[in-house]
């Protein structure tokens, strides 16, 4: 996809980035029902996202990306999802996929991402197999949940690397897991995305069979350091992914509160002389939800600031800070889903109709909670660390 992203003319400041995010969110909001119905973002909206730099928030500046600070990344995604959850999610996926530009050899990075106008997507989970060959890898596999596959030019899939039929192992005995980057045209898209929420992300399956991938496009995010300089690429990778999901969830919940406030001003429940907004129970629940949302966001931004301080100083990010990021992101995602549910319930019978944004916010927020980066297993991982139990924190 071609374009001339506005953010590529230099580093976008935080306020400028937020202004752009709000503008795109304003475009996306009235399209939300269409986005859900079509299970994809309209091409014109994708172009606007791209030109505003919302698809390259994590791409190195040297490649034409925004290379936003984590705080700016979080706030921009919240604004987008406030307009439409699927739009925020697709921007999050494209932006975090752009992190690969920091790990590729320079020539490959420029060939694929140079100019900042390339959208990529993919799945980290090692659902594929990559057999080493003379020219690189022969890749086969099928990956679910490839959000934004319909508007992406490059796709990546996690693979366990094999040589002579056996998995290659690191010194610690772990298999070599690499992301294989492939042109979208070489990948089969399998229409599977018939789901409860975030339908507009078009997160279908993808598959390849014996696809040749050059060695330079097989990247390990676990065993190899990034090639790009910059504090963003010293920031915890999995923490950043979790923050992206949580940011979208928080934006969805913020939108749900706004939707309920608009409904409450004009709706008078059957048998009552007072509008929803005038009822004490509604007032109390909206206040509790507002407090929960602000608290979740504040905790997340506090953990982001602490980890970012270490990254700027050039220090290795401590286990405590990495744990804090995952803990805050999981808490924020769960809190956001609770808020979306509360707003849906306050809307009463009005919430269940297709034209009500509250039912879509409810469904979208609860789909976000199912992502592996913020799934219940994260509580177990962080809980073991808090209890001092010996824990493998490799993917924290």
Q: Which helix (H) or strand (E) holds 209?
A: strand 204-214
Residue 366 and residue 340 in contact, taking contact as beta carbons nearer than 8 Å: yes
Q: According to the model, what pLDDT value does residue 9 have?
A: 37
Residues of the chain with pLDDT under 50: 1-11
> Residues 6 or more apart from 151 whose CB is under 8 A from it?
1, 40, 41, 43, 46, 90, 119
- 105 in the Ramachandran plot: left (φ > 0), alpha (ψ -120 to 50) or beta? beta
Specify the CATH number of the domain 120-219: 2.40.110.10
User: What are the residue ranges spanned by the domains of the chain?
Assistant: 6-113, 120-219, 234-386
Q: According to the model, what pLDDT value does residue 273 have?
A: 63
Distance separating alpha carbons of residues 56 and 200, to the nearest angstrom? 20
Side-chain-side CA neighbours of residue 365 (13 Å): 31
The domain defined by 6-113 folds into: Butyryl-Coa Dehydrogenase, subunit A; domain 1 (1.10.540)
Neighbours of 228 (CB within 10 A): 21
Q: According to the model, what pLDDT value does residue 271 have?
A: 61
Q: Say yes or no: domain 234-386 is CATH 1.20.140.10.
A: yes
Q: According to the model, what pLDDT value does residue 8 have?
A: 37
pTM of the model: 0.95
Asked if domains 6-113 and 234-386 share a fold, the reply is no
Q: According to the model, what pLDDT value does residue 7 have?
A: 38
Across 108-203, the runs of DSSP E, i.e. the strands, are 120-133, 136-146, 154-163, 166-167, 177-183, 188-190
Q: According to the model, what pLDDT value does residue 41 have?
A: 98
Residue 45 and residue 55 in contact, taking contact as beta carbons nearer than 8 Å: no
Distance separating alpha carbons of residues 142 and 154, to the nearest angstrom? 16
Distance separating alpha carbons of residues 165 and 233, to the nearest angstrom? 34
How do residues 305-346 score in pLDDT, each as one tens digit?
999 999 999 999 999 999 999 999 999 999 999 999 999 999
Distances in Å between the alpha carbon of 203 and those of 3, 91, 146, 167, 189? 23, 13, 5, 29, 10
């Amino acid at each position: 996809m071609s374009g001339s992203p506005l953010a590529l003319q230099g580093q976008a400041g935080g306020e400028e980035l937020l202004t752009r995010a709000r503008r795109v969110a304003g475009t996306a909001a009235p399209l939300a029902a269409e986005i859900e119905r079509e299970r994809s973002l309209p091409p014109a909206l994708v172009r606007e996202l791209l030109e505003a730099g919302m698809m390259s928030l994590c791409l190195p500046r040297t490649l034409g990306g925004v290379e936003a600070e984590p705080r700016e990344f979080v706030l921009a995604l919240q604004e987008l999802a406030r307009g439409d959850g699927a739009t925020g999610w697709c921007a999050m996926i494209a932006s975090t996929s752009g992190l690969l530009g920091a790990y590729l050899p320079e020539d490959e990075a420029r060939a694929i991402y140079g100019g900042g106008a390339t959208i990529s997507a993919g799945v980290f989970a090692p659902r594929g197999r990559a057999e080493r060959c003379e020219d690189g890898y022969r890749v086969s596999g099928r990956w679910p949940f490839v959000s934004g596959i319909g508007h992406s030019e490059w796709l990546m899939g996690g693979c366990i690397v094999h040589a002579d039929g056996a998995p290659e192992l690191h010194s610690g005995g772990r298999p070599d897991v690499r992301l294989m980057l492939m042109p979208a045209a070489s990948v089969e898209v399998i229409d599977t995305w018939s789901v409860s929420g975030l339908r507009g992300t078009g997160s279908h399956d993808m598959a390849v069979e014996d696809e040749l991938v050059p060695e330079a496009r097989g990247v390990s995010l676990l065993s190899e350091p990034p090639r790009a300089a910059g504090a963003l690429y010293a920031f915890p990778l999995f923490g950043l992914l979790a923050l992206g999901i949580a940011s979208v969830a928080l934006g969805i919940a913020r939108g749900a509160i706004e939707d309920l406030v608009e409904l409450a001003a004009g709706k008078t429940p059957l048998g009552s002389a007072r509008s929803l907004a005038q009822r004490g129970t509604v007032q109390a629940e909206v206040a509790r939800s507002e407090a929960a949302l602000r608290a979740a966001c504040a905790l997340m931004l506090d953990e982001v600031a602490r980890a970012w301080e270490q990254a700027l100083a050039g220090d290795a990010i401590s286990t405590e800070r990495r744990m804090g990021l995952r803990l805050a992101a999981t808490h924020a995602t769960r809190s956001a889903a609770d808020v979306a549910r509360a707003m849906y319930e306050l809307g009463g019978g009005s919430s269940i109709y297709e034209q009500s944004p509250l039912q879509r916010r409810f469904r979208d927020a609860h789909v976000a909670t199912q992502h592996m980066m913020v799934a219940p297993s994260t509580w177990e991982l962080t809980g073991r660390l808090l209890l001092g139990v010996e824990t493998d924190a490799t993917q924290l």
